[in-house]
A = this chain, B = another copy of it.
Amino acid sequence: MKISELGEFGLIDRLAKAFAETGRPDSLLIGIGDDAAAWKASGVQLITTDTLIEGTHFSLHHWGWRDLGWNALAVNVSDIGAMGGTPEQALLTLALPPDAAVADLDELAAGLVDAGREYGTAIVGGDIVACETLMVTMALTGQATADAEGRPLLMTRDGARAGDVIAVTGYLGDSAGGLRLLAGEREADPEATEHLKRAHLRHRPPLAVGRAAARLGVRAAIDVSDGLLQDLGHVCRASGLGAVVRATVVPMSPALVRSFPGQALALACGGGEDYELVLIAPGHAIQQVQRVSKGPVSIIGEMTADPEHRVRLLDAGGRELSLPAAGWDHLREAPWRR
């Protein structure tokens, strides 16, 4: 069955039933089905929005509809996590071709429910429009982490200080490597293939580490969405500093290193879609985060006084490296214009 046969209100009813599976937070007063959702709030609230559009952010040749649902929420969870917060209420806007299959929409909803359960988030409203291009937009609110007196503990892009240590969670480049395997650009051994493809198909922002970091005194952070060096550049400009990153300690998975010899560092520094966290703070705060984190938290460099606000990638001998094709600009690099 096509969604055009179900109609707008039939589809809304169907999605609302599916989303009820995530459970209803106690704070929620009104969810899907009214002019607006309503919830009891206190302290500092956060809000972010991110869109995934077919052909730019994903291809259905690689992602299934369930991956799309998961990732649409996960990329927004990543932004709330990068502020040190806890995600709460999500809005879903779907731009759908009218010949989309209802079964595919059910899969999309299942992926959203999977991610909603994983990250404790409820879908409380949204909008559906017909469009020839498939697009999923989510807006997500969150609660800021607070200290014992209720003061918000936020991690911001302008919170870095010269001499702060730069750390990153997890491994970088796996998602970019997985995309290249999915696109058939090269082959890898079965174990590496499984690991790298999964990294591309299911983003897993480290929400608990973000919250712990905010509590432990980390005042600057960003999530890695467009690529490590580009995203770190945003912190440099916002904080009025430069950054030095040591190539030898950028964390890369064994699967990436053995599957992409010669390319792994470029993927790790500029590949994007990692949805790991860059944490920037005095060394003692980063060490405390390392102690409580279940996954790796690697120190990769430090913030410097630099009037040009540059990010410099240095090799083992301290020489500056330049990498091809770092970062991503959504307006300049629309795929159909290449």
Contact = CB atoms under 8 A, between A and B. Distances in A.
Interface of A: 3-4, 6-9, 11, 29-30, 33-51, 53, 56-57, 78-80, 82-83, 85, 89, 91, 93, 95-96, 98, 124-133, 135, 137, 139, 141-142, 144, 152, 154, 156-158, 221-223, 238, 329-332, 334, 336-337
Most buried by B among A4, A47, A50, A125: A47
Given A33-B157, A156-B30, A223-B35, A129 B4 contact: no
Given A50-B127, A98-B334, A139-B139, 9 more contacts: A7-B332, A29-B152, A35-B48, A47-B125, A56-B130, A93-B93, A98-B337, A132-B132, A132-B336
B130 A334 contact: yes
B36 A85 contact: yes
Most B-side CB within 10 Å, residue of A131, A142, A158, A337: A131
Task: State the number of copies, please.
Answer: 2
A331 B38 CA distance: 27
B45 A38 contact: yes
7 contacts: A8-B329, A29-B44, A29-B154, A34-B158, A36-B82, A36-B85, A139-B139
A284 B79 CA distance: 48
Contact of A36 (B8, B48, B132, B330): B48
